[in-house]
């Protein structure tokens, strides 16, 4: 008997018919002799709708109340799913994140899990019930308040529970047949990937492929948890996220392609600080100011300083939602930094190429940049890691760039990828 944590995303439980379909899948897994713990997201676009609603009543919603509001989405789906399971002759027992023992720090909107004590989940399993846990939420012991883990955080709830329960595997059910070589909504010729190394998946998630929450991949890697991405709309085996060592053991390492795929991120903006004195301490002043305001920085570029003035421009990217905070933080350190102007641009995209094989294979950058050049895509910033190359381009050219790079690396599949549901919102 295996213990399986199954997470169903918003598009898998978007309406009553979908909830009934998911209930049947869960019950089938239990009937086959497994113990199943379920994590659910809010139905369809509920979380986005709640955000829209909050913005209609408040320009800057109070963080505590915002989390209280958003966590209600998952409570609806967990209770409905439990009811549907009852009607199939099994006991579904729903729990909020707090009841399931997901203890977080107190940072509303981006809380981190500090402890998981799933006592009630274990009791439910011992009683032969199917525990259904609301994803994306936790409880802070410090403030005694309800928190959320950040958008897409239900994946992390599922992995955290799987690790705490020492589950045999964690399955993330979504609206596509696994992880693809690119977002199938942007690149229809995207190819389904049977397996990926944790490191590649981490880069994919960090580069904007929202199919998995970044923190869930980190969590799974640390615990060497067997993680699968599957569709709740098909019986496709999906994508296994695993370690290099396990791939080698299973004899799959040799077949791994050099390049796993391409990711596009439209959620960042670019900020340029002009005419900063090129001397020790100025970069520290910039990034200390930003860190003090909790602004997450991604790429950083410093131009060569102009010989005549000894001054330079510094550019960085951060989430679009943090631009106002970043600007205010930099303004308040204007004297320490000594800049001339602050400019920002929200119409950018980050296009990334990911593949563990690029470490050993020369020529990858040449193919990447010549594909962009042929597609007429202008590169504004570049950053790399051992297994990723990212560029910033105009947002309007991102899809074109992703498709060109995908083709240049021979990743195009012969057919079109299937997207079963979801609005892609
Ligand atoms: P869920 O609601 O199930 O959590 P998400 O919308 O968060 O689903 O994630 C699934 C979506 O991720 C897909 O519909 C797809 O558009 C998008 N996506 C982006 N990059 C990829 C990729 N490389 N492979 C698969 N899906 C991707
Ligand atoms: N419902 C939340 C969101 O839309 C969490 C999740 O789906 O993972 O971000
Ligand atoms: Mg998701």
Q: Whose CA is nearest to atom 5 of ligand 1?
A: 211
Q: What is the mean pLDDT of residues 95-109?
A: 97
> With 90 as the cut, is the pLDDT of residue 1 above it?
no
Distance 299 CA to ligand 2 centre (A): 26
Closest ligand 2 atom, residue 152 Cα: 8
CA distances from 43 to 13, 140, 229, 315 (A): 5, 25, 19, 39
Q: Whose CA is nearest to atom 5 of ligand 2?
A: 152
So what's the pLDDT on residue 242?
Answer: 93
pLDDT band for position 218 (cuts 50, 70, 90): very high
* Tens-digit pLDDT profile for residues 57-93: 999 999 999 999 999 999 999 999 999 999 999 999 9
Q: What is the mean pLDDT of residues 278-287?
A: 93
CA nearest neighbour of 273 among 329, 343, 332: 343
Q: What is the mean pLDDT of residues 253-263?
A: 86
Q: What is the mean pLDDT of residues 322-327?
A: 95
> With 80 as the cut, is the pLDDT of residue 45 above it?
yes
Q: Whose CA is nearest to atom 11 of ligand 1?
A: 211
Q: What is the pTM of this model?
A: 0.93
Closest ligand 1 atom, residue 419 Cα: 14
Closest ligand 2 atom, residue 154 Cα: 8
Considering only the C-alpha atoms of the chain, give the largest distance between any 2 of them, rounded to a whole number of Å: 80
> With 80 as the cut, is the pLDDT of residue 305 above it?
no
Distance 70 CA to ligand 2 centre (A): 9
Q: Within a 13 Å sphere around the CA of 379, how many CA atoms are in the beta-carbon half?
A: 19
Query: Which residues are within 8 A (CB) of 35 and not within 5 positions of it... i.e. 6 or more apart?
Result: 1, 2, 3, 4, 125
Residue pair 8/41 in contact by the 8 Å Cβ criterion: yes
> With 80 as the cut, is the pLDDT of residue 261 above it?
yes
Mean of pLDDT over the chain? 95
Q: What is the mean pLDDT of residues 327-355?
A: 95
pLDDT band for position 361 (cuts 50, 70, 90): confident
So what's the pLDDT on residue 307?
Answer: 77
Ligand 2, CB cutoff 6 Å, lining residues? 9-10, 41-42, 47, 73, 135-136, 151-154
Distance 235 CA to ligand 1 centre (A): 17
* Tens-digit pLDDT profile for residues 131-148: 999 999 999 999 999 999
Closest ligand 1 atom, residue 175 Cα: 14
163-230-236 Cα angle (round to 5) = 135
Report all structural domains of the chain as residue ranges with CATH numbers, in order of start. 3-251 (3.40.1160.10)
Distance 269 CA to ligand 3 centre (A): 22
**Alpha-carbon distance 162 to 160, whole Å?**
5
> With 80 as the cut, is the pLDDT of residue 317 above it?
yes
Ligand 1, CB cutoff 6 Å, lining residues? 9-12, 41, 152, 174-176, 179-180, 182-183, 185, 204, 209-211, 261, 419, 422, 424
Of all ligands present, the nearest one to the C-alpha of 46 is 2
> With 80 as the cut, is the pLDDT of residue 256 above it?
no
Residue pair 205/212 in contact by the 8 Å Cβ criterion: yes
Least confident of 176-180, 212-216, 362-366: 362-366
**Alpha-carbon distance 152 to 58, whole Å?**
23
């Amino acid at each position: 008997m295996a213990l399986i944590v199954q997470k169903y995303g918003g598009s898998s439980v978007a309406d009553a018919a979908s909830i009934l379909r998911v209930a049947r899948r869960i019950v089938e897994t239990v009937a086959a002799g497994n113990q199943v713990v379920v994590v659910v997201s809010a139905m369809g676009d509920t979380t986005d709708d709640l955000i829209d609603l909050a913005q209609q009543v408040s320009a800057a919603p109070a963080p505590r109340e915002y989390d209280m509001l958003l966590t209600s989405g998952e409570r609806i789906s967990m209770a409905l799913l439990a009811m549907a399971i009852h009607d199939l002759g099994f006991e579904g027992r729903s729990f909020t994140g707090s009841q399931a023992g997901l203890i977080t720090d107190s940072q509303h909107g981006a809380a981190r899990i500090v402890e998981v004590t799933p006592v009630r989940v274990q009791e439910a399993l011992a009683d032969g019930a199917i525990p259904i846990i609301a994803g994306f939420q936790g409880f802070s012991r410090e403030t005694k308040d309800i928190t959320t883990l950040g958008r897409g955080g239900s994946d992390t709830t599922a992995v955290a529970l799987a690790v705490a329960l020492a589950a045999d595997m964690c399955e993330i059910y979504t609206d596509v047949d696994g992880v693809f070589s690119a977002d199938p909504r942007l690149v229809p010729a995207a190819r389904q990937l049977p397996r990926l190394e944790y490191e590649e998946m981490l880069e994919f998630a960090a580069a904007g492929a929202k199919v998995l929450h970044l923190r869930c991949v980190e969590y799974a890697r640390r615990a060497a948890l067997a993680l699968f991405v599957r569709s709740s709309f098909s019986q496709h085996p999906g994508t296994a996220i695993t370690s290099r060592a396990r791939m080698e053991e299973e004899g799959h390492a040799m077949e791994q392609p050099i390049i796993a795929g391409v990711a596009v991120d439209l959620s960042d903006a670019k900020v340029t600080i002009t005419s900063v004195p090129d001397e020790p301490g100025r970069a520290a002043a910039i990034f200390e100011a930003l860190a003090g305001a909790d602004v997450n920085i991604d790429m950083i570029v410093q131009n060569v300083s102009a010989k005549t003035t000894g001054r330079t421009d510094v550019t960085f990217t951060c989430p679009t939602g943090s631009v106002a905070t970043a600007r205010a933080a930099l303004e308040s350190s204007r004297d320490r930094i000594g800049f001339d102007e602050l400019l920002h641009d929200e119409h950018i995209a980050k296009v990334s190429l990911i593949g563990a094989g690029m470490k050993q294979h020369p020529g990858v950058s040449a193919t990447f940049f010549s594909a962009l050049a042929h597609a007429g895509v202008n590169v504004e910033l570049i950053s790399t890691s051992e297994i990723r190359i990212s560029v910033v381009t105009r947002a309007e050219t991102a899809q074109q760039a992703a498709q060109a790079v995908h083709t240049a690396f021979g990743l195009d599949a012969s057919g079109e990828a299937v997207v079963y549901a979801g609005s892609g919102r």
